[in-house]
Structure 1
Amino acid sequence: MGYIAHIRESDGAIQTVQTHLEEVSKLSERFGGKIGVKHLAGLAGLLHDLGKNSEAFKDYIQEAVANPNHPPQRGSVDHSTAGGKLIYQQFHAGARSALEQLTAEWISMCILSHHGGLRDFISPDLSSPYLERVKQKEIPEFEHAVATFFQQQMGPAELESYFNQAVREAETIIKYRQQHKLKPITFSFIQKYIFSCLIDADRTNTRTFEENEEQAERSLDSAAFFRECYTALMETIVSFREGKDSEHLIHRLRSEMSDQCEQFASKPSGIYTLSIPTGGGKTLASLRYALKHAIEYGKDRIIYIVPYTTIIEQNAEQIRKILKNDLNIIEHHSNVIEEHEDGSGHEAYDLKKKKLKLAKDNWESPIIFTTMVQFLNVFYSRGTRNVRRLHNLANSVLIFDEVQSVPVKCISLFNEALNFLSSFGRSSIVLCTATQPALDYVDNKLKIPTNSEMVQDLKRVSESFKRVNIVDKTTTEGYNASEIKKFILTEMEKVDSLLVILNTKTAVRKLYEELNDKAERKQHSYKLFHLSTSMCPAHRKKVLENVKRQLETDGQRVICISTQLIEAGVDISFQCVIRSLAGLDSIAQAAGRCNRHGKDEIRNVYVIKSSDEELSKLKEIRIGAEKTARILEEFARRPEVFGNDLLSPEAMKKYFEYYYHDIEGELDYWIPNIRQNAFDLLDLNKDYSSGLQRKSGMNVRLVSKQSFATVEKYFQVIDQPTTSVLVPYNDEAKEIIADLNGELDSGQLTSLLRRAQQYVINLYTHELKQLDQAQNIDVLLHGNVYALKEVAYTDEMGLDLKGEGVWSPEII
Structure 2
Amino acid sequence: MSFSFKLKSHVKEGESFKDGQLLVDHLKGVRDIAIETSRMHGITGEIEDVINMICLCHDFGKASEYFQRYLKDEYDGNLKNHGEISAYFAYYMLPEPWKIIGFMAVKRHHGDLDPDRIFFDYNIDLLLKIATSIEKNKIELNEIYQQDISEFFTIIKDEIFLKNPWKSFKKKMKSFTIEDFTWMQYLWSLLLTGDKTQLIRGKAYQNSTNVYEGYVDKYKEKVKHALREKFPKIENTELFHIRNQIYQEVVEGIKEVDLQKDHLFSINVPTGTGKTLSVYGAAFQLLERIYHESDKKIRPTVIYTIPFTSVIDQNYQVLEDIFDSNGLKGFESFILKHHSMTELNYTDYNEKMDEATEYKNYDARFCVENWQSTVVTTTFVQLFNTIFQSGKNAVINRFHKLAGSIIILDEVQAIPPKYYDIIEQIFEVLCNKFNCYVITVTATKPLFLEGVELVKSNVKIFSTLDRIQIENHTASPIYLDEFSQIIIEDIQEKQDKSFLIVLNTVKSSLKILDDLRDSEAIRSINRKILYLSTEIHPQRRLEIIQQIKEDKDNKYVLVSTQLIEAGVDVDFDIVYRDFSTIDSINQTAGRANRNAISGKGTVKIYSLINENHSDKKFARYIYSETLLDATEEIIKDKSIILEKDIYEINKAYFKAVKERKSKDPSKDLEEAIAAFNFGKIRELFKLIEENYQKEDVIINYNEETQKCLDIIEEGNGEYQEVLNAWRVLNKYKVSVNKEDMDNINTLTIKGMHVLDKQYYDKDKGIIRTSTAVF
Q: TM-score range by the shorter chain?
A: 0.7 to 0.9
Q: Find the counterpart in structure 1 of residue 351 from structure 2.
A: none
> Are 1:236 and 1:322, in contact at CA under 8 Å, matched by a contact in 2?
no
| Equivalent residue letter for 1:460 | K
- Structure-2-length-normalised TM-score: 0.79
> After the TM superposition, which of the residue ranges 306-315 and 594-603 deviates more from structure 2?
306-315
Q: Secondary structure at the match of 2:429?
A: helix
Structure 2 distance, partners of 1:525, 1:241, is: 30
- Structure-1-length-normalised TM-score: 0.75
Q: Secondary structure at the match of 1:239?
A: helix
1:468-513 residue CA offsets vs partner (Å, 9 max, x unmatched): 1111111222332x33322221221225211112222332233333
1:528-579 residue CA offsets vs partner (Å, 9 max, x unmatched): 22222344443321110012233x11xx231112222211111111011111
Give the alignment partner of residue 425 of structure 1, picking from 421, 429, 434. Answer: 434
Give the alignment partner of residue 150 of structure 1, picking from 122, 141, 152. Answer: 141
| Equivalent residue letter for 2:305 | I
| Equivalent residue letter for 2:134 | A
**Residue 257 (structure 1) aligned with residue 252 (structure 2):** no
> 1:562-641 to 2 correspondence within 5 Å?
562-612=560-610, 620-635=623-638
Instruction: Evaluate the alpha carbon distance shift between residue 108 and residue 293 of structure 1 in structure 2; reply closer, same or farther with a 3 A threshold.
Output: same
> Are 1:576 and 1:604, in contact at CA under 8 Å, matched by a contact in 2?
yes
Q: How far does residue 311 in structure 1 lie from its aligned partner after superposition?
A: 1.9
Give the alignment partner of residue 50 of structure 1, picking from 60, 63, 76. Answer: 60
1:268-301 residue CA offsets vs partner (Å, 9 max, x unmatched): 4410110111111101111111122212322433
Instruction: Evaluate the alpha carbon distance shift between residue 490 and residue 77 of structure 1 in structure 2; reply closer, same or farther with a 3 A threshold.
Output: farther
Structure 1 distance, partners of 2:335, 2:309, is: 21
1:99-125 residue CA offsets vs partner (Å, 9 max, x unmatched): x433111212111122333323xx5xx
Q: Find the counterpart in structure 2 of residue 680 from structure 1.
A: 671
Instruction: Evaluate the alpha carbon distance shift between residue 407 and residue 420 of structure 1 in structure 2; reply closer, same or farther with a 3 A threshold.
Output: same
Instruction: Evaluate the alpha carbon distance shift between residue 140 and residue 630 of structure 1 in structure 2; reply closer, same or farther with a 3 A threshold.
Output: farther
Structure 1 distance, partners of 2:25, 2:706, is: 41
> After the TM superposition, which of the residue ranges 29-38 and 575-584 deviates more from structure 2?
29-38
Q: Find the counterpart in structure 1 of residue 459 from structure 2.
A: 459
Instruction: Evaluate the alpha carbon distance shift between residue 788 and residue 409 of structure 1 in structure 2; reply closer, same or farther with a 3 A threshold.
Output: farther
1:223-275 residue CA offsets vs partner (Å, 9 max, x unmatched): 22447734642542663696632231100011011111111222244101101
Structure 2 unaligned regions, length at least 5: 152-175, 292-298, 345-359, 611-615
| Equivalent residue letter for 2:471 | V
Q: How far does residue 679 in structure 1 lie from its aligned partner after superposition?
A: 2.3
Q: How far does residue 788 in structure 1 lie from its aligned partner after superposition?
A: 3.8
Q: How far does residue 762 in structure 1 lie from its aligned partner after superposition?
A: 6.7
Q: How far does residue 598 in structure 1 lie from its aligned partner after superposition?
A: 1.3
Instruction: Evaluate the alpha carbon distance shift between residue 227 and residue 276 of structure 1 in structure 2; reply closer, same or farther with a 3 A threshold.
Output: closer
Instruction: Evaluate the alpha carbon distance shift between residue 369 and residue 142 of structure 1 in structure 2; reply closer, same or farther with a 3 A threshold.
Output: same
Structure 2 distance, partners of 1:468, 1:242, is: 22
Q: How far does residue 436 in structure 1 lie from its aligned partner after superposition?
A: 0.5
Instruction: Evaluate the alpha carbon distance shift between residue 517 and residue 762 of structure 1 in structure 2; reply closer, same or farther with a 3 A threshold.
Output: closer
Q: Secondary structure at the match of 1:246?
A: helix
Q: Find the counterpart in structure 2 of residue 443 from structure 1.
A: none
Structure 1 distance, partners of 2:758, 2:686, is: 27
Q: Find the counterpart in structure 2 of residue 694 from structure 1.
A: none
Q: How many residues align?
A: 690
Instruction: Evaluate the alpha carbon distance shift between residue 24 and residue 130 of structure 1 in structure 2; reply closer, same or farther with a 3 A threshold.
Output: same
| Equivalent residue letter for 2:671 | D
Q: Find the counterpart in structure 1 of residue 375 from structure 2.
A: 367
> 1:394-473 to 2 correspondence within 5 Å?
394-439=403-448, 446=449, 448-449=450-451, 452-473=452-473
Q: Find the counterpart in structure 2 of residue 319 from structure 1.
A: 319
Q: Find the counterpart in structure 2 of residue 538 from structure 1.
A: 539
Instruction: Evaluate the alpha carbon distance shift between residue 774 and residue 319 of structure 1 in structure 2; reply closer, same or farther with a 3 A threshold.
Output: same
Instruction: Evaluate the alpha carbon distance shift between residue 80 and residue 533 of structure 1 in structure 2; reply closer, same or farther with a 3 A threshold.
Output: farther
Structure 2 distance, partners of 1:539, 1:531, is: 9
**Residue 189 (structure 1) aligned with residue 192 (structure 2):** no
| Equivalent residue letter for 2:690 | Q
Give the alignment partner of residue 9 of structure 1, picking from 13, 29, 40. Answer: 13
> Are 2:744 and 2:768, in contact at CA under 8 Å, matched by a contact in 1?
no
Structure 1 distance, partners of 2:290, 2:729, is: 32
**Residue 79 (structure 1) aligned with residue 89 (structure 2):** no
> 1:709-748 to 2 correspondence within 5 Å?
709-720=679-690, 728-739=700-711, 742-743=715-716
1:114-162 residue CA offsets vs partner (Å, 9 max, x unmatched): 2333323xx5xxxx345435999846403433655724521446999xx
Structure 2 distance, partners of 1:582, 1:478, is: 15
Instruction: Evaluate the alpha carbon distance shift between residue 772 and residue 477 of structure 1 in structure 2; reply closer, same or farther with a 3 A threshold.
Output: closer
Structure 1 distance, partners of 2:245, 2:744, is: 57
Instruction: Evaluate the alpha carbon distance shift between residue 114 and residue 217 of structure 1 in structure 2; reply closer, same or farther with a 3 A threshold.
Output: closer
> Are 1:274 and 1:432, in contact at CA under 8 Å, matched by a contact in 2?
yes
Q: How far does residue 713 in structure 1 lie from its aligned partner after superposition?
A: 4.6
Instruction: Evaluate the alpha carbon distance shift between residue 335 and residue 216 of structure 1 in structure 2; reply closer, same or farther with a 3 A threshold.
Output: farther
Structure 2 distance, partners of 1:398, 1:475, is: 41
RMSD: 4.0
| Equivalent residue letter for 1:306 | I
Q: Secondary structure at the match of 2:466?
A: coil
Q: Secondary structure at the match of 2:191?
A: helix
Give the alignment partner of residue 30 of structure 1, picking from 36, 46, 63. Answer: 36
Structure 2 distance, partners of 1:138, 1:313, is: 51
Instruction: Evaluate the alpha carbon distance shift between residue 102 and residue 563 of structure 1 in structure 2; reply closer, same or farther with a 3 A threshold.
Output: farther
Structure 2 distance, partners of 1:413, 1:136, is: 43
Q: Find the counterpart in structure 2 of residue 41 from structure 1.
A: 51
1:319-375 residue CA offsets vs partner (Å, 9 max, x unmatched): 32233154343322228899xxxxxxxxxxxxx997797474221222222111111
Q: How far does residue 595 in structure 1 lie from its aligned partner after superposition?
A: 0.8
| Equivalent residue letter for 1:49 | D
Structure 2 distance, partners of 1:724, 1:102, is: 47
Structure 1 distance, partners of 2:489, 2:388, is: 49
> Are 2:340 and 2:730, in contact at CA under 8 Å, matched by a contact in 1?
no
Instruction: Evaluate the alpha carbon distance shift between residue 577 and residue 749 of structure 1 in structure 2; reply closer, same or farther with a 3 A threshold.
Output: same
Q: Secondary structure at the match of 1:386?
A: helix
| Equivalent residue letter for 2:63 | N
Structure 1 distance, partners of 2:67, 2:706, is: 41
**Residue 759 (structure 1) aligned with residue 709 (structure 2):** no
| Equivalent residue letter for 2:478 | G
Structure 2 distance, partners of 1:301, 1:510, is: 46
| Equivalent residue letter for 1:51 | G
> Are 2:531 and 2:764, in contact at CA under 8 Å, matched by a contact in 1?
no
Structure 2 distance, partners of 1:53, 1:535, is: 56
Aligned sequence identity (%):
21
Structure 1 distance, partners of 2:15, 2:727, is: 29
Structure 2 distance, partners of 1:111, 1:275, is: 44
Q: Find the counterpart in structure 2 of residue 501 from structure 1.
A: 502
Structure 1 distance, partners of 2:721, 2:11, is: 19
Q: Secondary structure at the match of 1:500?
A: strand
Give the alignment partner of residue 800 of structure 1, picking from 745, 762, 766. Answer: 766
Q: Find the counterpart in structure 2 of residue 707 from structure 1.
A: 677
> 1:323-342 to 2 correspondence within 5 Å?
323-324=323-324, 326-327=330-331, 328-334=334-340
| Equivalent residue letter for 1:602 | K
Q: Find the counterpart in structure 2 of residue 19 from structure 1.
A: 25
